[in-house]
Amino acid sequence: MLKLITVHFSPVTSSMDERAMSRLDRLKRDMLTLTIGCAAAAGIALALYVVAPAELRDGMVAAFLGFDQPISSVPAPRPMRM
């Protein structure tokens, strides 16, 4: 007869460890994660720029900086005086 098999998954950090982790440790871990993500994004953008044909590079830089967006000519709203 078949037996029911159950697998219990535990999180990478237990809830006790996470409660005991100081705010500074969490901030360090989050900053490291953010730094790695930003470095990866910059590396991918640089690789795409280098691989792109020369005639497309100026357009890529303009699009990245937002120069290809239309400029709105709508005047800014004035604050109401009371």
pLDDT per position as a tens digit, 24-62:
888 999 999 999 999 998 899 889 888 988 888 888 788
Give this prediction's pTM.
Answer: 0.49
Q: Which two tokens stand for residue 79?
A: 């604050």
Query: Which are the contacts of 21, defined by CB distance < 8 A and separation ≥ 6?
Result: 13
Closest CA to 64 of 40, 44, 34: 44
Contact in structure between 36 and 30 (CB atoms under 8 Å)? no
Asked if pLDDT for residue 23 goes beyond 70, the answer is yes
The domains of the chain are located at 43-68
Contact in structure between 72 and 60 (CB atoms under 8 Å)? no
End-to-end CA distance of the chain: 83
